Each structure stands twice: as structure tokens, then as C-alpha cells.
Amino acid sequence: MKTKTLISLAIAALGVASIASALGGAPDESCCSGMSAQHSQTKNDKPVPAKDVKGVQTLTVTIADGKYSPALISVKKGKPVALTFKGGKNMGCGSTVEFKSLKQKQSVKEGKTVVFKFTPKEAGEVKFACSMDMIQGKVVVK
């Protein structure tokens, strides 16, 4: 446990350092640099359940500092899902969100939102990522 904490701290520190150094240039050109910390975070997080709003499973994902939060979402199968992606600061290439398996791809500007809609038919995972597949997240369908 202790070793694990130290490792994640080290990864977090590295991530912060490289994001900070990337801030000097244009954020959009530094795609995915310094965003390796995202992978460990996705693994450690618990899925955030979408909320039922009039029969639609909804949740807002904020894109900021080169990551999606939450990056891990859970929904139930057979019911429509509407995920809103909200543009924040320092999105990097995370501003383009792609759900490959759904053939849906949208870009969002800072302060704006885009909505992805789908109805998962089976239990499993629906992944989303930046268009280079480096900043990742997923929807766990139960």
C-alpha cells in the first residue's frame, strides 16, 4: 500500500511537471504530452454512476488539464445515455472526444459543451478518448 502511494505520488508529480512545462507553448500542439498520469488515475477511480433524468442516464464530464473527469462512468444497459462534455482550461487534445465504437466524434471549446447520446444494448465497456487515443476514459455498462 505504501509503495503504491509513493508510486502514484511520483507519477502525479511527473504529470504536473510536464503539464507545467507544456503550458509555455500552444496547448493544442502539445497533444498528450505529460498526460501519462491519466492511465493510473483511470484504474484507481471508482466509476461515477450517471443520474437518471426523466429516463435518460446523464452525466457531465469536464475536460481540463489534459484529462477527463470523471474518466470512469457507469450506466445501465438498455436505457438511453446522454453524456455532456464540458470544455475547461488546458484541455490539450482532450478537446476532441471520440467514442470509436459508436462512431461519434466531437470537439468542444473552452466554456462550451457537447453531448454524446447512445443506448447501450449489452453490458461491457464503451471507451472514449482524445482522437489520438491517449487521454482515455470509459463507460462501464452494467
Is residue 73 at the binding interface for Cu ion, with CB under 5 A as the rule?
Answer: no
Q: Which stretch binds Cu ion (CB under 5 A): 52-60, 77-85, 89-97, 115-123?
A: 89-97
**Binding track over 41-70 against Cu ion, x by CB under 5 A:** ------------------------------
What separation, in Å, do the N-terminal and C-terminal C-alpha atoms of the chain show?
A: 29
- Binding Cu ion (rule: CB under 5 A), the pick from 73, 93, 108, 141 is 93
CB-CB contact of 32 with 134 (8 Å): yes
CB-CB contact of 32 with 132 (8 Å): yes
Size of the site for Cu ion (CB under 5 A): 6
- Binding Cu ion (rule: CB under 5 A), the pick from 19, 22, 30, 31 is 31
- Sign of the torsion angle spanned by Cα atoms 27, 33, 34, 40: positive
